[in-house]
């Protein structure tokens, strides 16, 4: 059953050029959908549009974002905020800037449960402790009393992941959650997100530039180029035989760790030219 359905969404810089061109994509409840593209392709913009955190200089031109059948773009801002806050969550890209430096971890994890969702402080704290244990943080009680600067990047990303799952959201947008981390930590974090997703049955929109990551975590994916979806497919089918020439080139350009001698294959200029013409990018 489709939980999130983005339909013909177009977004542009106010008084400027388009950022997303009639993007459509569906995420089924409990499924993981990958959103792949080069930097600047607009993949983060889709996540931001869904969560209602587009930059001030950017506006939605047309389209709909259906969350559980309700068009978010048609709701008044306050209602939309409450609805998104209760059913969605974000795992941000950079754990170093995504925690408020002046507040303790405990407050940052529990405040919104208390303030927005009306939990008691005790329930919220118990929940935070359980979640920190689930993301394999040792001595969670101590961590709750600490400040962000006392923790490593990997620890902070675990906390952010725990936080995202705190209110059992139906949909989580993971915006390149491993890009800012050390390579050694990346794998663990990826595994953690995948495991949490399965256990909690949350739908996940996984934004990344790394096809290798998609192959490990996602069930389906959309390939984005210059603000337009050029291909949507099941992961298995995609990796077996990508339909669009750009997707194929992107896949070929992904380094294969299993075959280090294969060399690098950047996306050929001809393919770029063709896809540019197709999406109408100048």
The binding site for another protein (CB under 8 A) comprises 51-53, 56, 78, 81-82, 84-86, 88-90, 92-94, 97-103, 108, 111-112, 115-116, 146-147, 149-150, 160
Q: Output the six-digit token pair for 230.
A: 């050029």
Q: Output the six-digit token pair for 120.
A: 């008691």
Name residues whose C-beta falls within 8 Å of residue 107's C-beta, 6 or more positions apart in sequence: none
Query: Would you say 216 and 42 are in contact if contact means Cβ atoms under 8 Å apart?
Result: no
Query: Would you say 108 and 100 are in contact if contact means Cβ atoms under 8 Å apart?
Result: yes
Distance CA 49, CA 33 (A): 16
Of 118 and 263, nearer to another protein (C-beta) is: 118
CB of 241 to another protein, least distance (A): 37
CB of 225 to another protein, least distance (A): 25
Of 6 and 279, nearer to another protein (C-beta) is: 6
Of 121 and 149, nearer to another protein (C-beta) is: 149
CB of 94 to another protein, least distance (A): 6
CB of 112 to another protein, least distance (A): 4
Distance CA 6, CA 72 (A): 10
Of 27 and 279, nearer to another protein (C-beta) is: 27
Distance CA 120, CA 115 (A): 9
Measured distance between the N- and C-terminal CA atoms of the chain, rounded to whole angstroms: 37
CB of 118 to another protein, least distance (A): 11
Of 53 and 270, nearer to another protein (C-beta) is: 53
């Amino acid at each position: 059953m489709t939980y999130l359905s983005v339909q013909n969404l177009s977004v542009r810089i106010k008084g400027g050029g388009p950022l997303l061109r009639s993007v459509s994509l569906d995420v089924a409840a409990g499924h993981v959908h990958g959103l792949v593209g080069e930097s600047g392709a607009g993949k983060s913009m889709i996540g931001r549009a869904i969560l209602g955190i587009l930059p001030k200089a950017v506006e939605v031109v047309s389209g709909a974002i259906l969350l559980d059948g309700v068009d978010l773009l048609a709701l008044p801002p306050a209602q939309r905020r409450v609805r998104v806050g209760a059913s969605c969550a974000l795992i941000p890209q950079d754990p170093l800037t995504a925690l408020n430096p002046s507040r303790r971890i405990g407050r940052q994890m529990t405040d919104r449960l208390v303030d927005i969702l009306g939990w008691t402080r005790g329930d919220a704290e118990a929940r935070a402790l359980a979640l920190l244990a689930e993301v394999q943080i040792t001595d969670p009680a101590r961590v709750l009393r600490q400040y962000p600067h006392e923790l490593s990047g990997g620890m902070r990303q675990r906390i952010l992941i725990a936080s995202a799952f705190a209110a059992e959201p139906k949909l989580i947008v993971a915006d390149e959650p491993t890009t800012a981390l050390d390579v050694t930590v990346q794998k663990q974090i990826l595994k953690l997100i995948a495991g949490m997703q399965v256990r909690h049955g949350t739908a996940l929109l996984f934004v990344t530039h790394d096809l290798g990551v998609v192959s490990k975590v996602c069930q389906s994916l959309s390939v984005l180029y210059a603000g337009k979806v050029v291909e949507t497919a099941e992961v298995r089918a995609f990796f077996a035989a990508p339909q669009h020439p750009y997707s194929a080139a992107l896949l070929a350009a992904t380094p294969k760790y299993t075959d280090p001698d294969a060399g690098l294959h950047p996306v050929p200029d001809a393919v770029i030219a063709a896809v540019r013409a197709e999406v109408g990018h100048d």
